[in-house]
Amino acid sequence: MEQMKKSSHEDKTIESAMIFDQQTNDHFPNQFIWPKDHLSQTSTEKLNEKVIDLQGFLSHDKEATLHAANLVKESCISHGFFQVVNHGVDLDMLALVQEHGHAFFKLPLTEKLKCKQKEGSVVGFASGHAQRFREKLPWKELLTFEYHENGPDEVVAEFFNAMGTQYKETGLIFQKFCRTMNKLALDLLDLLEISLGVDGHNHNYYRKLYDDAVSIVRCNHYPQCNKPDLTFGVGPHCDPTTLTILYQDLVGGLEVFVDNKWKSVQPHRDALVINIGDTFTALSNGKYKSCLHRVSVNSLSPRLSLVFFLCPKGDRELKAPQELVEKDGKKEYPDFTWGEFLQFTQKNHRADENTLQLFTKWLLTSKNHNA
Ligand SMILES: C=C1C[C@]23C[C@H]1CC[C@H]2[C@]1(C)CCC[C@@](C)(C(=O)O)[C@H]1[C@@H]3C(=O)O
Ligand SMILES: O=C(O)CCC(=O)C(=O)O
Ligand SMILES: [Fe+2]
């Protein structure tokens, strides 16, 4: 049985990758077609999100920090999404990471399959998640790996080395990308803490929770699609993770659900997209929204996005600061570990817009069962 599962697992990935390469105009594969109620919600408006200048905050200017914190607070209470500029991340380095990302997805399938995703793990190469799901497949290929903040520097480089010494340079470039993103993510946690007004009594409360963080890093490649109105690059979802930092090319396609409408996000070459994930919603005691977003594809060109999902180490107990709970008079979420939540998204529930609510229910039921 195990052997059968493995071969069908690989076949599904090959089948999906070939669909992307050999798509025809007359037949669109059913498994990639999304339900009409999703497809009918077209996005017509542009999102006028806050583009927050981090320069003053990063240089510890008190007034600029408070200004940035207020803009963050407004965006996160409303829909959990903003963009940042003057973030301190080198744009040439980001362009180089994009180049290596594109080069990876251009590799022959046999090369990409060297690091194919194993069952139950987010790490590795996948195509359309065809080995995990049977329907509503996303029109994307993806490469995912982990970044251990305090792990040996080579962990990411090793991931690529394992594919062959010819990927050594790619590994080093992604390693540098991860280190840079991790630093910015922790700085943003400090800004979020200030915006929530918990920096006084609980200074570095959030930063401390992310000691020894084990984050998820993903390169999404969305191939050009002949029937873009029948599918999604990623369907509607909230990231279950804590905080997402995303660098996109100028193709466009990312959409955010705000004021009951899907609105398109304007790409900016010098900006990074930031969105709140489910885990931070819980850590803010429900004050900050986990951003509901999706990706549409297009018939003209492929799109690439580089995504850093900040995650704590798996066994760290996560809870909102007591100060917030007392201010709100109610604890909105049970304590949990990211390990429990990640496993829920890999084994029990495909992450979508309801993940946090379903996870909370699942957790309380399973804890009552074990009580
Ligand atoms: C914890 C995670 C699960 C996903 C990758 C990270 C954060 C985002 C999640 C995801 C992208 C949300 C949409 C559905 C999903 C299945 C996907 O399209 O890739 C999710 C990821 C996953 O389960 O691999
Ligand atoms: O590619 C994008 O713009 C968004 C990708 C995304 O939402 C995800 O991978 O969770
Ligand atoms: Fe996402």
pLDDT digits (tens, 9 = 90+) for 221-258: 999 999 999 999 999 999 999 999 999 999 999 999 99
Q: Which is it for the CA torsion 297, 104, 145, 32, positive or negative?
A: positive
Q: With 60 as the cut, is the pLDDT of residue 7 above it?
A: no
Q: What is the pLDDT of residue 3?
A: 43
Q: Is the CB of 146 under 6 A from ligand 1?
A: no
Q: Is the CB of 214 under 6 A from ligand 1?
A: no
Count CB neighbours of 5 within 10 A. 11
CA of 352 to the centre of ligand 3 (A): 9
The CA–CA distances, whole Å, from 221 to 86, 119, 232, 305 equal 26, 21, 12, 7
Lowest mean pLDDT among 125-134, 148-157, 227-236, 357-366: 148-157
Q: What is the pLDDT of residue 90?
A: 98
- Hey, what amino acid is at 367? K
Q: With 60 as the cut, is the pLDDT of residue 2 above it?
A: no
Structure tokens at 293: 């977003």
Q: To which H or E segment does residue 18 belong?
A: helix 2-21
Count CB neighbours of 181 within 10 A. 26
Q: With 80 as the cut, is the pLDDT of residue 368 above it?
A: no
* pLDDT band at residue 153 using 50, 70 and 90 as cut-offs: low
Which residue of the set 294, 303, 316, 350 is catalytic? 303
pLDDT digits (tens, 9 = 90+) for 41-100: 998 899 988 899 999 999 999 999 999 999 999 999 999 999 999 999 999 999 999 999
Q: Is the CB of 234 under 6 A from ligand 1?
A: yes
Q: What is the pLDDT of residue 8?
A: 67
Torsion angle defined by CA atoms of residues 339, 342, 346 and 348, in that order, rounded to the nearest 10 degrees = 90
Closest ligand to C-alpha of residue 246 is 2
Cα 276 from Cα 320, distance rounded (Å):
15
Q: What is the pLDDT of residue 1?
A: 38
pLDDT digits (tens, 9 = 90+) for 289-312: 999 999 999 999 999 999 999 999
| 348 secondary structure, DSSP code | I
CA of 117 to the centre of ligand 1 (A): 13
Count CB neighbours of 8 within 10 A. 12
Q: With 80 as the cut, is the pLDDT of residue 370 above it?
A: no
Q: What is the pLDDT of residue 231?
A: 98
Structure tokens at 212: 């020894």
* pLDDT band at residue 4 using 50, 70 and 90 as cut-offs: very low
Based on the residue annotation, tell me whether 303 is a catalytic residue of this protein: yes
pLDDT digits (tens, 9 = 90+) for 191-218: 999 999 998 876 899 999 999 999 999 9
Q: With 90 as the cut, is the pLDDT of residue 318 above it?
A: yes
Q: What percent of the chain has pLDDT above 70?
A: 96
Question: Is residue 78 within 8 Å of 258, Cβ to Cβ?
Answer: yes
Task: Please state the rounded mean pLDDT for residues 94-115.
Answer: 96
Q: Is the CB of 291 under 6 A from ligand 2?
A: no
Q: What percent of the chain has pLDDT above 90?
A: 84
CA triple 76-295-304, angle to 5 deg: 105
- Going along the chain from its start, the domains and CATH numbers come out as 56-370 (2.60.120.330)
Task: Please state the rounded mean pLDDT for residues 154-166.
Answer: 85
Taking the whole predicted model, whether its pTM rises above 0.90 is answered as yes
